[in-house]
Structure 1
Amino acid sequence: MPGAAVPVVVALNGFTDPAAAFATRQRLHLVDRERLARWGAGQHLYDVLDIDRGPGRRTRSLERADERVAPPPCSGRYG
């Protein structure tokens, strides 16, 4: 992921402790089932990941509240 503005790793069943530690060391953002559902429902990725966009930078999230569906339950430890 060299050069990625926001490097993300997606896993629907959560992340192990070693994977989460590795992601922290490598400055990767982990996207679990719940976060993926929010992103897919139109919430801006920076909001999903709680990333500061910086001064004066705003991005409009899609407003599709009527289409939003609760994510399915996750049996993973981190989901």
Structure 2
Amino acid sequence: MLVQIDQRGSLNLPVKIRKSLGLEKGSSFELEIIDGGDIVLHPVEIHRTIRLSEQGLDKLKEARQSGIGKLPDWLLNQMN
């Protein structure tokens, strides 16, 4: 499939490819240049780091133990 770089240096992925890979606006990629000059894009998830006060952490732990709602796994990992 042929794609072109525009005047801003952006590369547009066709809708068919974005949909088949579940990519959305704002998706992030790790770019790798391999031997021979080939370019490989690896989709990555970026999770912003948040810092909570002890009081905030206590409230989250209480909510988790009460069974109300589900916290994302990445946040649970930071709490443990």
TM range (shorter): under 0.3
TM-score norm. by structure 1 comes to 0.24
Normalized per residue, the structure richer in strand is 2
TM-score norm. by structure 2 comes to 0.24
Q: Which has the larger radius of gyration?
A: 2
Normalized per residue, the structure richer in helix is 2
Structure with greater contact order relative to length (CA < 8 Å, sep ≥ 6): 1
